[in-house]
Amino acid sequence: MTIVINGTTGISGIDGSAGTPAVQGTDTNTGIYYSAADTVDVATGGVQRGQFDSSGNFKFNSGYGSVATAYGCRAWVNFNGTGTVAIRASGNVTSITDNGLGDYTVNFTNAMSDANYSVVSIGTSDAINYTANVQIKNSSALATGSVQIQCYEYNNVAVKRDPVHVLLSIFR
Amino acid sequence: MNSRIIYPNDDGGVAIIVPAPECGLTIEEIAAKDVPAGKPYKIVDVADIPTDRTFRNAWEYTE
């Protein structure tokens, strides 16, 4: 295989492999290689650890046991729903809307591609023997730009509450 | 941010937008993005919002 060094297109010519990556440092079994068309792979110790495939999927092995597509958290927020309602920390969230007792809307900075995302949420209850629950208000509360939630404490009956901690993450 | 955005909700009460400190937008930009279209709104200081939420659903928006 001929290595081509071109002032316009750069360096090309070798695909490499996990054991002998095309781009290496002084460690010859660690680097970047190209396992298929439109695909970039990363190897360490002669083993494939990550890949960007031809569909743009990012795959890695970080304890999964194989290199598999990673589905990232698209938005998250940790906020206090009591007293002076405030966001402690967040990602891809511009704001929350306090709609009323135990009722909030999380507004995304960058909208989701559709409303078929997954919401993982939990709240804290300071009352002993109560179970805190954060739920989606209704099916129309899942929107591309926001999600509306309602928070309850359960002890035989559901009572709407303002939790001290509301923790919510969006996956897609 | 020490500001909040308030607007009347559809139930006769008031909605309060709480900005995310790390979002990188100004309070005016957040208002433009997150207040529902056509709703009047006001930007107020956080100290103007009651902290006792016992009767939160009875709060009203006034011009």
Q: Do A83 and B53 touch (CB under 8 A)?
A: yes
- Residue A95: which of B13, B19, B49 has the nearest Cβ? B19
Looking up tokens 């967040």, which residue turns up? A90
**What pLDDT is stored for residue A1 in this prediction?**
63
Question: Which string of b and e fits A56-84 if b means at least 16 CB within 10 Å?
Answer: eeebbeeeeeebeeeeeebbbbebbbbee
**What pLDDT is stored for residue A148 in this prediction?**
97
**What pLDDT is stored for residue A62 in this prediction?**
86
Identify the DSSP state of A115. Answer: S
**What pLDDT is stored for residue A128 in this prediction?**
67
> How many residues comprise chain B?
63
User: Which stretches of A13-116 are assigned E, i.e. beta strand?
Assistant: 23-24, 31-33, 40-44, 47-52, 58-60, 68-69, 73-80, 86-91, 93-100, 103-108
Residue segments in chain B with a per-residue pLDDT below the cut of 50: none
Structure-token pair, residue A57:
């999927």
Q: What is the mean pLDDT of each run of 10 residues along chain A (172 residues)?
A: 81 92 95 97 96 96 89 95 95 98 97 96 78 87 96 87 93 93
Measured between beta carbons, the chain A residues lying within 8 angstroms of B46 are 84
**What pLDDT is stored for residue A60 in this prediction?**
94
pTM beyond 0.95, yes or no = no
* Amino acid present at A32: I
Collapsing DSSP states into helix, strand and coil, what is residue A39? coil
Q: Do B33 and A107 touch (CB under 8 A)?
A: yes
CA distance B40 to chain A (A): 15
Q: Do A99 and B15 touch (CB under 8 A)?
A: yes
**What pLDDT is stored for residue A142 in this prediction?**
95
**What pLDDT is stored for residue B36 in this prediction?**
96
Mutation choice for B interface testing from A82, A92, A94 by most B CBs within 10 A: A94
**What pLDDT is stored for residue B33 in this prediction?**
97
Backbone CA torsion sign across A26, A29, A32, A37? positive
**What pLDDT is stored for residue A89 in this prediction?**
97
| C-alpha dihedral, A33 to A70 to B23 to B12, nearest 10° | 160
Q: Is B58 exposed, middle or buried (0-12, 13-18, 19+ CB in 10 A)?
A: exposed
Asked if A57 and A42 touch (Cβ cutoff 8 Å), the reply is no
Q: Which residue of B has its CA nearest to A108?
A: B34
